[in-house]
Amino acid sequence: MNKKENSQKVQSVYHELSLQTYHREEHNISRKQISENALKVLYRLNGAGYDAYLVGGGVRDLLLGEQPKDFDIATNATPEQIKKLFRNCRLIGRRFRLAHIMFGRDIIEVATFRGHHQEQEKNVSQQSKEGMLLRDNVYGSIDEDAERRDFSINAMYYNIADYSIHDYAGGIEDLEDRLIRLIGEPEVRYREDPVRMLRAIRFAAKLDFDIEEDTAAPIEDLAPLLRDIPSARLYEESLKLLQSGYGLETYHLLREYNLFQQLFPIIAPHFTEEYSSRTEQALDLVLDATDERIEEGKRVNPAFMFAAMLWYPMMEYANRLISKGMSEYDAVMEASNSILDEQVKSTAIPRRHTATIREIWQLQLRLPRRSGKRAYRLMELNKFRAGLDFLEMRGEIEGGEVAALAKWWSTFQLAGRNMRQAMVNDLGGSSARPSSRRKRAPKKPKSAE
């Protein structure tokens, strides 16, 4: 498809929407459900003569009876006009300028209505030859903004002026039918921004919706377009996909549509039809555990998740190096560097996390060495708990000596002093735990008179 044909094809997706307005008595959204800070922004914009709407996921979640994580706002005020209204405003973004209104840690994101990027405006819009939007600072009307949104359930606007909902793409009907439907022609919209394929999966898993047939059809073939997305952006998307409380279901959907393979190409060769490889077992275990921790309100560490996902591909590489005569330690160090260096090309895992991944992996080599004072010293390490959790996960998968080692450590860390010493002695370790008190220097003999 040449650039001219693509431009004409993209333009054709922007003439299919029809507005349906639901008045206050026809929907369930109340201002009491909207955050105080979001209301402040909505009312100030409206009071200054601008249109002000709660938009996107906030409206969708409120209609579903859920509490939104974020309250995003759309307006006809430009970013510069928004900044003049709010002293606590910061403008961000190069691809599309956004206003962040800061209320301490609470950030209300305000976007100006977007227009059609085919309209010629000076230095505000840019597309690649494949149809991907590179810059998108084209402002327009609310109708155009709705046409530019990705899914019907995200193209609903709550108007603070009269508390009505403007539904431009049958979003309320799709909510009732539990459907994820892309606005416009799917192939064109995915080419504009391939990350929309990931968003379709994320919403389907999060909301337990089906992906509408035409919306789903091109995804598998277009999945390789994700390779053109900056790896830093894909890292952020991977966290949204896998660490939002429904990661296991999301992973299975991503894999079904050939998307997970683009995010983690190192893992893809370990996939089997039976989902039975050790890598696949590790994925199921770590994502299920992550979902459980999130449900319980516990913190999750991306480094642990990535360490589990990449461990068996790394060890396969390390074993090849060992077979060529390299020591186990050197082989694991070499394989760790190679695997992580390759993975960050697809998803740019930050250095602070790759450092933790290496520590967790190195502990797997150290935990078998428990004799003498080593067991006590290992327990004092900062990443010991993560290393043991990782060992226990491996024990579930591998059984045998690994499971026995994990059980030993689980017992050891909870045991009293005497029992710990007995456990170490059974390994042939030293007969006494290292004393934490400083030894006294021997007294000097009195000099003879």
pLDDT the model gives residue 414: 93
The CA-based diameter of the chain, rounded to the nearest angstrom, is 112
In a domain, 99, yes or no: yes
Q: How many CB atoms lie within 10 A of CB 23?
A: 10
**SS3 label, residue 255:** helix
Task: Single out the residue of 337, 64, 255 nearest to residue 176, CA to CA.
Answer: 64
- Whether residue 448 lies inside any domain: the answer is no
Q: Domain for residue 403, yes or no?
A: yes
Evaluate whether 231 touches 354 at the Cβ level (below 8 Å): no
Tell me which residue range forms the domain holding 137. 16-118+128-177
Is residue 1 assigned to a domain? no
Name the residues annotated as catalytic: 70, 72, 150
**Looking at residue 174, what is its pLDDT?**
97
Per-residue model confidence as pLDDT tens for the chain (449 residues):
444 444 444 444 444 578 999 999 999 999 999 999 999 999 999 999 999 999 999 999 999 999 998 999 999 999 999 999 999 999 998 767 899 999 999 999 999 999 875 544 433 544 545 545 444 457 889 999 999 899 999 999 999 999 999 999 999 999 999 999 999 999 999 999 999 999 999 999 999 999 999 999 999 999 999 999 999 999 999 999 999 999 999 999 999 999 999 999 999 999 999 999 999 999 999 999 999 999 999 999 999 999 999 999 999 999 999 999 999 999 999 999 999 999 999 999 999 999 999 999 999 999 999 988 999 999 999 999 999 999 999 999 999 999 999 999 999 999 999 999 999 999 874 434 444 444 455 555 544 43
Q: How far apart are CA 162 and CA 330, in angstroms?
A: 68
Burial (Cβ within 10 Å: 0-12, 13-18, ≥19) of residue 210: middle
Residue 109 resides in a domain: yes
Query: What is the rounded CA–CA span in Å between residue 40 and residue 59?
Result: 17
Structurally, how many domains does the chain consist of?
A: 2
Tokens of 153: 């359930």
CA 378, CA 79: separation in Å to the nearest integer? 54
Q: Say if residue 372 is exposed, middle or buried (CB neighbours under 10 Å; 0-12, 13-18, 19+).
A: middle
pTM: 0.84
Task: Check which CATH number belongs to the domain holding 338 and give it.
Answer: 1.10.3090.10
Residues 303 and 172 in one domain: no
Evaluate whether residue 358 is within a structural domain. yes
Is residue 97, in this structure, part of any structural domain at all?
Answer: yes
CATH no. for residue 142? 3.30.460.10
**Is 28 contained in some domain?**
yes
